[in-house]
Structure 1
Amino acid sequence: MRVLIVFLVLLLSLPSFPLFAEATNEVEFNEELIALKVDYALSPNKKLEALETLILLAESNDWRHSEIRSQVYKAEILISLEQIQSAQKIVDLYLPRTKAAHLLESRARLQLVQITINTTQNKPTIDLINNIEENILLIENEKVVADLNSGLGIAFYTIRNNESALKHLENARKIYKKMGDEIGLSETLNSLANIFSDESEPDIAIQYLSEALKVMRKFGDKHGESILLYNLAQNYIAKQDFEEAQKSLASTLKLNQELDDIAGIAWTNHSLGLVFEEQNNYEKALLYYQQALVFFKDNNDKTNIINVSLGKINCLIELEQSNEANQELLVLKPIIDEYKDEYWQAPYQRLNAKLYALNNDYKAAYETQVEVTNRFNDRYKSDANNDIQELLIKFDLNKKANDNRILQQENELQELRLKQKQKESTIWRMAMAFAVLIMVLIGYLLQRILVNRNHFQEMALKDHLTGAPNRRAILEFAERQYQLSKRNRTPLTVAIIDLDFFKSINDNYGHDVGDEVLKAFSTAISSSIRSQDQFGRYGGEEWLLVLTNTPVEDVSIIFERITKNLSSIEVDSLPAGLKITFSLGAAQVDKKDTTVNKTINRADTNLYQAKESGRNKAIF
């Protein structure tokens, strides 16, 4: 999500002033600077050009405070365009000057710029965040306080502390609402939308972003509009609505080109790569990823280098370009290793496992995947233990403080011993109640960790639409049954099923009806097979069926069962006379099949023959 930059370019909502008359004093100068900030029709690059004139004017008149404020705004625009090196030079030069000039607002804004830079380069941000939180208490201007709270919300979001992010964003929202600041409210909605995206609530995020988009268009802020459209596309991607995602990204790309926003173009190329990767168009995805990488590498944006590289490597693996994929993994490893946590290690190792599997080194693939799983488990355990230790330490410190206070009071107030004992008893009761509270909290945390872990494990193996096993799950089941079949010399049959004319259903009746057809078909298959057999969604309208201890000749029975069960299911919005049919290709594992994929490929060939010979039949 493009979330770091929006706040930095949504500044004071005040009436415009003419920009063309040269200021004769600092009051006039500041009026022109404010007018430039709220002229949303100007692109960021055009604002930079206007700022250069203002900065030269401030320098020539020795208006030091005005010069600092202009340079701060310039740094904010540069970071919004992801010109990181240029922004860093301004921070290095002017951050000390803001301290000397006691300009708390300017100092806090430059610190927000530095937080953005540090985030992209995997550098610490917490000290900067703490410093801004302290300075907010000293600022009286409500607009400035709201802006800084909004910036802090984004900063906490980037370090994955959503609780603190929500607190600061809510503070900003209240102030903006009180002031009637539509721009500030729209920025807050954008930030909240990104948090809901992280919490897997794309529908809520889309609602917030759509409201914010209306405001941006009302004020003619094309740069803000492009960012919101980009974020909308990310949520459509999360919903697997690739058509809407591509529409949003096409609009984003058009705006970025109008604004000459090369950073926005890079972000959009990254997302287009993701869209095509999700649709298994790996060649096209690879082209977009490569274009995006050029910009992020030039800017040393390590976070995005990793993000885009992971997508690129996956495309190379899917295209069976193992050498190129291996080379990219080796190049990426030093960057991954700079990160101390496990956030990037897991997807990196998963790609390693996938590459091993491509090279038929299934043992290494399995061991690597087990390592990834163990790392996840260790991380959950470590987080839980750390939480427990922190709570126990706090409890211990409170208890010791209470004990010391009691002893001191006993030494000083011997004549009030009875009263002191009563106070001690009260304190102990409070300590015990606190201990009980801590234990309840620990239990709750452990329970939430377990629920989340189980949820993620389940989500990783299920198709989100039908609830059936997904491609990964059914292929893992097929591999296990293949090994058992080889070991026990029992028959194993696999079948690939494809819904006939499914595209026509989507085109004529809509994707919602198509989704209902997929759900109905999943139900029909589930009720047609034995408990020891398994099926899963193989991709689109294709399904993979694994029949254990079953000769291929029995497939005709399964075909008839599915046909019968499917015909008994009514799908709303489909004409009563429309019959849903499917084609099936099956194959039985034989001695020549060195992997289960060989059998699946033969089944796929039979499926092709079934479709070519008229559909609605099974060939094996």
Structure 2
Amino acid sequence: MPYRRSLHCLDYILAGLLALASLGVQGGVDWAAMEQRAADDPIKVREETLKLSRELQANGDKQEELAALRLLAITSAQMEHYKDLDVVLARGLMLARELNQAGSESTLLSLRGRLLAQSGKQAEAMRDLDAAISLAERNKLQRELASALQEKARLLQGESRFNEVLPLLFRAHTLFDSLKLTADVSGVLNDIGNAYSTLGDEGQAVDYYRRSLVGLNPAQDRHALSVRQYNIGVSLLRLERWQEAGDTLREALAHSEALNDATGVAYARFRLGAIDLKQGRTEAALQQLDLALQEFRRTHLQDMLFGTQLARAEALSGRDVRAAMAAMAEAESIFKQNPTAPRKLMLHKTSSLVYKQQSRYREALAELEAWIQANKANDEQFNRKLTTEMQARFDSERKEADNALLKSERRRQAAELEAGKSRRLLLLLGLLCSVIAIAALAFVLLRQVRQKQRYAALAMHDELTGAPNRRHILAYGQRQLQACREEGLRFSLAVIDLDHFKSINDRYGHEVGDTVLRRFARVCQPTLRRGDRLGRVGGEEWLLIMPATHSSEVPLVFERMRQHLQAQHEDLPAELIIAFSMGAAEAQPGESFERLMRRADAAMYRAKQQGRDQLVIARPGETS
């Protein structure tokens, strides 16, 4: 759902990303200190930086001008002042490339992606964000990479591609957390809250928003605090907890007024107006909405203009039909400029309400039917199920699964203990026959057991990598599928194929290819959870068995394997990147192990066809 405020991690990137920030600048500008101040009062910092950028350009100091332009772009985006931002970004990108400043270039590309998305140019925005990600990966810029991933997640959320949003945000969170960047971790937690809110899980959203408050200093992070309070207030509003929502939004309003943040004030007034409208205080609602509308017109925030006009139309429909229809007309005009699926749903729903209040029941029914059709056409159901279960069910279901697997393991151990007792009884009977004979027999048996153990280990493990071989992993998978069905647990498996492995052998030789296979087995094994098992089924193809696992948990497993694998480079050519395609499937009731593998294999081939280095999850019933 639209109209959340996002405090992006770029708002906190310190000047340490540029060497010039640590060296200081002519004139004594401390860029690091200014960026820290921007987290508290971006409006004042933006005004100071705008003046500095003009002076530095006039002096011809390109390094310092780039630092100023970068900070100016960050604060402008932070305040959602998009007017003239394209000029700042164009000049900044030119200087970043001229001065070979990859960190600044990646940051500015991410911000330009945000600007393009705001203008409805999603395809161009995606190109900029992918370029920012690629640039950060090539230069091993972990912080810029996390920032670009977070920005891409926000764009995908606007396109309702929810199954891709949370994995990107969790990956960004992992990167920030590994770098111990508390402020950036707070920012990405806020965005995760936005994602859950868009999916309609407001309880989970409030939890993440409140987690993002940890570490914020009310004396130094006032703007960040206002954004968080606003987002919490919106979720409480949607939960119809009117009093709590109103109190929280008024706190956000007070923070924004103290900072002279007109945009933040308008956001808060918009939501307070919505509360008044829901509670039948039409006059108070219109006053709040009209004040918000003035700021949204000034800053050209199209999403907010759209939402405010829809709310005004609903408020006006029972008292001023002409004004209500004028508000609807402007909302329709904005929709035509950027006809997104969420806007379409909101437009039909509000139109139906407006027509109903005017007793124009035929038009109201038509709009309601259009809303129903648009809702059906929206392919959110599968994505909603995939992503909301990814974390909401992870903790509880994983705990239940672990307990069930522990019980199963104890039963197996008990059976083995009973079998061991029987064997020992036979040995004791043999001892009664002859001490000498039993001693000789024990010696022979011990030797045979050890030989059998060695032979069994060789027979069940891949000679090159030490991982379970094809026979071992297939037998393990079939046993675990049966055990999970007996316990009433989910079961998933994945077929994995190393990307471009033939090219690696052809270019670097089979010795490097063997090293890649050993590296994959060695690095990925520690990332797996208890009960998971990875085996080599032939060549560069692997099978991952995941007992007690829902398909929604597989993206987290994939990301952990992928991140650990890409972080390992020793003993391999520096330019060689190991990547893999993964197809996964969850067992359906009565489905055979062989059919389940075929579905996962088909999903893996789709991952290959879609560009490799990615995961595709088979839907129930898919075979090709």
Aligned: 1:128 with 2:128: yes
Q: In structure 2, what is the equivalent of residue 84 of structure 1?
A: 82
Give runs of aligned pairs for residues 28-43 of structure 1, distance below 5 A: 32-39=30-37, 42-43=40-41
2:10 to 8, 11, 18: 8
- Would you say the 8 A contact 2:5–2:230 is kept in 1? no
- Would you say the 8 A contact 2:189–2:212 is kept in 1? yes
Q: In structure 1, what is the equivalent of residue 324 of structure 2?
A: 325
**Deviation for aligned residue 1:264:** 0.5
Deviations 1:299-347 (A, max 9, x none): 2221111111111111112x34322212222232222122344432232
Tell me which amino acid in the other structure corresponds to 1:8.
L
- Would you say the 8 A contact 2:222–2:255 is kept in 1? yes
Tell me which amino acid in the other structure corresponds to 1:246.
G
User: Using the alignment, how far apart are the partners of 2:34 and 2:256 within structure 1?
Assistant: 20
Deviations 1:112-145 (A, max 9, x none): 2222222332222222222122212123243333
Tell me which amino acid in the other structure corresponds to 1:208.
Y
Q: In structure 1, what is the equivalent of residue 241 of structure 2?
A: 241
User: Using the alignment, how far apart are the partners of 2:46 and 2:64 within structure 1?
Assistant: 16
Q: In structure 2, what is the equivalent of residue 63 of structure 1?
A: 61
Q: In structure 2, what is the equivalent of residue 188 of structure 1?
A: 188
Higher relative contact order (CA 8 A, sep 6+): 2
- Would you say the 8 A contact 2:176–2:184 is kept in 1? yes
- Would you say the 8 A contact 1:30–1:66 is kept in 2? no
Q: In structure 1, what is the equivalent of residue 204 of structure 2?
A: 204
Structure 1 residues 141 and 294, CA, compared in 2 at 3 Å: closer, same or farther?
same
- Would you say the 8 A contact 1:3–1:154 is kept in 2? no
Structure 2 stretches of 5 or more lacking a match? 384-496, 498-538, 540-594, 607-615
Aligned: 1:258 with 2:258: yes
Tell me which amino acid in the other structure corresponds to 2:307.
N
SS of 1:99 mapped into structure 2: helix
User: Using the alignment, how far apart are the partners of 1:362 and 1:241 within structure 2?
Assistant: 31
Tell me which amino acid in the other structure corresponds to 1:332.
A
Q: In structure 1, what is the equivalent of residue 223 of structure 2?
A: 223
Structure 1 residues 186 and 341, CA, compared in 2 at 3 Å: closer, same or farther?
closer
User: Using the alignment, how far apart are the partners of 2:604 and 2:68 within structure 1?
Assistant: 52
Deviations 1:500-529 (A, max 9, x none): xxxxxxxxxxxxxxxxxxxxxxxxxxxxxx
- Would you say the 8 A contact 1:13–1:38 is kept in 2? no
Structure 1 residues 177 and 326, CA, compared in 2 at 3 Å: closer, same or farther?
same
Structure 1 residues 149 and 362, CA, compared in 2 at 3 Å: closer, same or farther?
closer
Structure 1 residues 139 and 168, CA, compared in 2 at 3 Å: closer, same or farther?
farther
**Deviation for aligned residue 1:8:** 3.2
User: Using the alignment, how far apart are the partners of 1:377 and 1:143 within structure 2?
Assistant: 40
Q: In structure 2, what is the equivalent of residue 599 of structure 1?
A: none
- Would you say the 8 A contact 1:4–1:116 is kept in 2? no
Q: In structure 2, what is the equivalent of residue 374 of structure 1?
A: 373
SS of 1:220 mapped into structure 2: coil
User: Using the alignment, how far apart are the partners of 2:143 and 2:171 within structure 1?
Assistant: 12
Q: In structure 2, what is the equivalent of residue 409 of structure 1?
A: none
Aligned: 1:361 with 2:360: yes
User: Using the alignment, how far apart are the partners of 1:345 and 1:127 within structure 2?
Assistant: 25
User: Using the alignment, how far apart are the partners of 1:172 and 1:443 within structure 2?
Assistant: 27
- Would you say the 8 A contact 2:277–2:285 is kept in 1? yes
- Would you say the 8 A contact 2:132–2:145 is kept in 1? no
Tell me which amino acid in the other structure corresponds to 2:99.
A
**Deviation for aligned residue 1:46:** 2.4
Q: In structure 2, what is the equivalent of residue 146 of structure 1?
A: 146
SS of 1:122 mapped into structure 2: coil
Identity between Structure 1 and Structure 2 (%): 16
Which of 94-103 and 246-255 deviates more? 94-103
- Would you say the 8 A contact 2:236–2:245 is kept in 1? yes
**Deviation for aligned residue 1:75:** 1.3
Structure 1 residues 351 and 127, CA, compared in 2 at 3 Å: closer, same or farther?
same
Tell me which amino acid in the other structure corresponds to 2:206.
I
User: Using the alignment, how far apart are the partners of 2:202 and 2:145 within structure 1?
Assistant: 29
Tell me which amino acid in the other structure corresponds to 2:315.
C
User: Using the alignment, how far apart are the partners of 2:149 and 2:84 within structure 1?
Assistant: 25
Q: In structure 2, what is the equivalent of residue 167 of structure 1?
A: 167
- Would you say the 8 A contact 2:309–2:330 is kept in 1? no
SS of 2:374 mapped into structure 1: helix
User: Using the alignment, how far apart are the partners of 1:49 and 1:55 within structure 2?
Assistant: 10
Which of 242-251 and 102-111 deviates more? 102-111
Structure 1 residues 240 and 356, CA, compared in 2 at 3 Å: closer, same or farther?
closer
Tell me which amino acid in the other structure corresponds to 1:240.
E
Give runs of aligned pairs for residues 559-570 of structure 1, distance below 5 A: none
- Would you say the 8 A contact 1:121–1:300 is kept in 2? no
Deviations 1:350-406 (A, max 9, x none): 33333333333323322332233233334459999xxxxxxxxxxxxx9xxxxxxxx
SS of 1:133 mapped into structure 2: helix
**Deviation for aligned residue 1:81:** 1.8
Q: Cα RMSD over matched residues?
A: 3.7
User: Using the alignment, how far apart are the partners of 1:288 and 1:64 within structure 2?
Assistant: 45
Q: In structure 1, what is the equivalent of residue 270 of structure 2?
A: 270
User: Using the alignment, how far apart are the partners of 2:39 and 2:602 within structure 1?
Assistant: 59
Q: In structure 2, what is the equivalent of residue 46 of structure 1?
A: 44
User: Using the alignment, how far apart are the partners of 2:22 and 2:161 within structure 1?
Assistant: 47
Structure 1 stretches of 5 or more lacking a match? 16-22, 385-397, 399-422, 424-428, 447-620
Tell me which amino acid in the other structure corresponds to 2:334.
I
Structure 1 residues 230 and 379, CA, compared in 2 at 3 Å: closer, same or farther?
closer
Structure 1 residues 435 and 78, CA, compared in 2 at 3 Å: closer, same or farther?
closer
- Would you say the 8 A contact 2:9–2:187 is kept in 1? yes
**Deviation for aligned residue 1:54:** 4.5
**Deviation for aligned residue 1:238:** 1.7
Structure 1 residues 30 and 109, CA, compared in 2 at 3 Å: closer, same or farther?
farther
- Would you say the 8 A contact 1:76–1:87 is kept in 2? no
Aligned: 1:351 with 2:350: yes
Give runs of aligned pairs for residues 446-525 of structure 1, distance below 5 A: none
User: Using the alignment, how far apart are the partners of 1:437 and 1:14 within structure 2?
Assistant: 41
User: Using the alignment, how far apart are the partners of 2:205 and 2:35 within structure 1?
Assistant: 27
Q: In structure 1, what is the equivalent of residue 337 of structure 2?
A: 338
SS of 2:77 mapped into structure 1: helix
